[in-house]
Chains A and B, each alone.
Chain A
């Protein structure tokens, strides 16, 4: 305890000191932007100042060598400043148009991928998975790497009807977020309880409180206080595992991937929407998860061919209708697509609106 020191509770740092000088100078004074080519944005200020942004995809989990490489590129081309996006892309700002192409070359030459702007398939936002989380059904980073290998042209080009955001979550709790296309792991069997350990490890009332469907009850098992799960109620969300590790939800065989579509957080043209289930039971098949990628590609192809300019995935489906969506992407429609949660009724069709 000799070296104990009081923390400096500085909170969120002031970004002003780390902001590119041209952005500082024109803060709040930008007039419009252009998209000279995929991966590059041009912003023009009322003063006439211009700034080019070059966006690059990375492996997201960076080793210090890669981070320093990204810094070297920033020093050489972007006056030593960078910006990160919500989807973990890195952005370099340059004030001299002549530097744009050399910057792109330097990034691509170092193995990074320039793109992700405007109507592209952006980098997949994701959570931790086997590398770090405690209830992951799969490895989000691995799924994303495999998928981006196959979607790289869609990241590099910007020829979708509108932007496409993909997210991955390694369990149903779904930290990864709502996506135009979301690939989530679905545990499909209730937790297996190691009753010998529960009494020592778990604070039982807080575990009971954690369950979203009230499936957990205190119980005496083999003369010891433990917990039991009503398996008919359990939706296999895994929320009971973190406060009670003896309730093991990880399962090599029964954790499957599921695909959801239509989550759109922008307000443009319509209020934000949540994603909807379209496919489940997809094998959790490391290291490359080809089955999941194949479905994502089918959805992207149908969207690209069928949607009009500016339609996001949710808007396209709304226009053509879900029956045609399922046909076009060749996915089965089952009773499991019918919502059973509260508010489910709002998703039923109470009209004669039917497409033939």
Chain B
């Protein structure tokens, strides 16, 4: 069946230039795919997109579509100009959870591609910024068929709407010398404990987990997740002095003074006259800078664990928030350690589900009720590591001070300090 191709003079211009063009890819589906349904669907998609380029407006609106048994995981899209472009008038996206750390075998990718061209448009993104594989473009009926097929061989939908969202973790221990934890295990332990909350949106708003193996935070966890897990260590960093000398021999002493010693944010480093690096580990905040500059010479210590920060999010609705340190250090070695981290997540989500307003992220709730009340609510004692600095405002009642001070000394004594 020959289709009448929409002319796309503006989109055609996106086929020029050296960077690979998504427009060429959509056209390949229109022109070369053996399946007429895909040819017609991508043709109308191109038609609508060209129309957007001409008129500088978008024409999708939402709706409700989900698969049997689930409440979320699909981004429904219905065209407002479906009369002109009927074959893509339903063009839903399925959010599918990737394996932790985004590792794939080509066999698995081919299997997904086969299913997707059977039921969908043939367009897919690895990955959306939330972390999902985004299968872009199918109608309501085929949404179910595609899900059924891939669900049988191991894939599950991610979250959309007010729910626990798909999580993300860095490549970490699989290929990175900076890794201080098992990112994959932390990622799966957390999100898979909440499958019900992923699939059935019933929370005040979205809740995201992200795991980075060190403070370089390649997953952008602090800024972009409600529950950020960052690998760190608390004993001394490892220094291979011979390698330090090799670096200095290569680029010169001045370079390392300017780029390592003076760049340490806490001035924890110095260089001796005979080019030995001295680290004041009590001042080091594990920022990762010196390790990044000299990866052969410097390594994290052995007493590894994680820092947990709560409440990061993007703009809507009170502006961007960074996560706040709630657990300065936690060992993640035994099954119990992982279990207690998951329990903490449960406690936080329960507290937020009860106290958050509709459409209020966890970080916004913390800002509204105050960090001290939040800590109280989740049963965590205050710690100076949670703050950049103590209170500045004098508008505060201090009647409970003596008891609080007492409690501090008791906790210190218990910790053997």
Q: Do A and B bind each other?
A: yes
A242 touches B263 (CB 8 A): no
Give chain A interface residues in 70-89, CB to chain B under 8 Å: 70-72, 74-75, 80-86, 88
Tell me the complex Cα distance, A32–B100, Å.
23
B99 touches A15 (CB 8 A): yes
Let me know if A113 is at the binding interface, CB within 8 A.
yes
Let me know if B117 is at the binding interface, CB within 8 A.
yes
Give chain B interface residues in 212-262, CB to chain A under 8 Å: 215-220, 222-224, 255, 258-259
Let me know if B113 is at the binding interface, CB within 8 A.
yes
Residues of A within 8 A of B97 (CB): 11-13
Q: Among the listed B19, B107, B218, B357, which residue makes an inter-chain contact with A113, where contact means beta carbons less than 8 Å apart?
A: B19
Residues of B within 8 A of A88 (CB): 125-127
Let me know if A43 is at the binding interface, CB within 8 A.
yes
B174 touches A27 (CB 8 A): yes
Let me know if A131 is at the binding interface, CB within 8 A.
yes
Question: In the assembled complex, how far is the CB of residue A194 from the closest CB belonging to chain B, in whole angstroms?
Answer: 12
B18 touches A152 (CB 8 A): yes
Question: In the assembled complex, how far is the CB of residue A195 from the closest CB belonging to chain B, in whole angstroms?
Answer: 18
B22 touches A61 (CB 8 A): yes
Residues of A within 8 A of B166 (CB): 12
Let me know if A132 is at the binding interface, CB within 8 A.
yes
Residues of A within 8 A of B123 (CB): 61-63
Residues of A within 8 A of B127 (CB): 84, 88
- The answer to whether A80 and B17 touch (CB under 8 A), given A28-B182, A63-B26, A209-B357, is no
Residues of A within 8 A of B176 (CB): 30, 33, 43
Of B45, B62, B258, the most chain A CB neighbours within 10 A belong to B62
Tell me the complex Cα distance, A74–B107, Å.
10
Contact with A along B1-29 (1 / 0, CB 8 A): 00000000011011011111111111011
Assign chain A's interface to a size class. 35 or more
A174 touches B314 (CB 8 A): yes
Q: Among the listed B22, B199, B289, which residue makes an inter-chain contact with A59, where contact means beta carbons less than 8 Å apart?
A: B22
Give chain B interface residues in 317-335, CB to chain A under 8 Å: 317-320, 322
B222 touches A136 (CB 8 A): no
Let me know if A129 is at the binding interface, CB within 8 A.
yes
Let me know if B400 is at the binding interface, CB within 8 A.
no
Number of residues on chain B facing chain A (CB within 8 A): 129
Residues of A within 8 A of B128 (CB): 127-128
Residues of A within 8 A of B302 (CB): none
Of A32, A139, A210, A267, the most chain B CB neighbours within 10 A belong to A267
Residues of A within 8 A of B358 (CB): 206, 209
Residues of A within 8 A of B182 (CB): 28
Inter-chain residue pair count (beta carbon < 8 A): 359
Question: In the assembled complex, how far is the CB of residue A351 from the closest CB belonging to chain B, in whole angstroms?
Answer: 17
- The answer to whether A93 and B175 touch (CB under 8 A), given A139-B52, A145-B22, is yes
Of B13, B109, B174, B199, the most chain A CB neighbours within 10 A belong to B174
A268 touches B67 (CB 8 A): no
B103 touches A59 (CB 8 A): no
B20 touches A250 (CB 8 A): no
Residues of B within 8 A of A210 (CB): 317, 359
Tell me the complex Cα distance, A174–B296, Å.
38
Contact with B along A149-175 (1 / 0, CB 8 A): 110100000000000000000001111
Contact with A along B116-127 (1 / 0, CB 8 A): 110000111111
B61 touches A27 (CB 8 A): no
Residues of A within 8 A of B288 (CB): 266-268
B102 touches A287 (CB 8 A): no
Question: In the assembled complex, how far is the CB of residue B108 from the closest CB belonging to chain A, in whole angstroms?
Answer: 6
B17 touches A209 (CB 8 A): no
Residues of A within 8 A of B11 (CB): 287
Contact with A along B353-373 (1 / 0, CB 8 A): 000011100000000000000
Tell which of A18-26, A97-105, A296-304 binds the partner: A18-26
Residues of A within 8 A of B17 (CB): 145-146, 149-150
Question: In the assembled complex, how far is the CB of residue B92 from the closest CB belonging to chain A, in whole angstroms?
Answer: 10
B25 touches A63 (CB 8 A): yes
Contact with B along A241-252 (1 / 0, CB 8 A): 010010000111
B317 touches A239 (CB 8 A): yes
A7 touches B28 (CB 8 A): no
Tell me the complex Cα distance, A18–B23, Å.
30
Residues of A within 8 A of B192 (CB): 11-12
Tell me the complex Cα distance, A142–B100, Å.
29
Question: In the assembled complex, how far is the CB of residue B411 from the closest CB belonging to chain A, in whole angstroms?
Answer: 26
Let me know if B53 is at the binding interface, CB within 8 A.
yes
Chain B interface residues toward A at CB < 8 A: 10-11, 13-14, 16-26, 28-29, 32-33, 45, 49, 52-53, 55-62, 67-70, 75, 77, 91, 93, 97-110, 113, 116-117, 122-129, 136, 147-148, 151-152, 154-157, 166-168, 170-171, 173-177, 179, 182, 184, 187-188, 191-192, 195-196, 198-199, 215-220, 222-224, 255, 258-259, 263-265, 285, 287-289, 292-293, 295-296, 299, 314-320, 322, 357-359
18 residue pairs of the A-B complex, CB under 8 angstroms, read A7-B199, A9-B199, A12-B97, A30-B176, A32-B296, A33-B176, A43-B176, A62-B125, A63-B26, A67-B113, A68-B110, A75-B106, A83-B101, A142-B53, A250-B58, A267-B215, A267-B287, A272-B217
Closest 9 CB pairs of A and B: A149-B17, A63-B25, A15-B99, A267-B215, A252-B56, A71-B106, A11-B192, A130-B52, A59-B20
Chain A interface residues toward B at CB < 8 A: 3-20, 23-24, 27-28, 30-33, 43, 51, 53, 57-68, 70-72, 74-75, 80-86, 88, 90, 93, 111-113, 125-139, 141-142, 145-146, 148-150, 152, 172-178, 206, 209-212, 237, 239, 242, 245, 250-253, 255, 263, 265-270, 272, 274, 284, 286-288, 308-310, 341-343
Q: A133-B58, A310-B263 are in contact. List 6 more A-B contacts (CB 8 A).
A: A60-B22, A61-B136, A127-B128, A141-B22, A145-B21, A268-B287
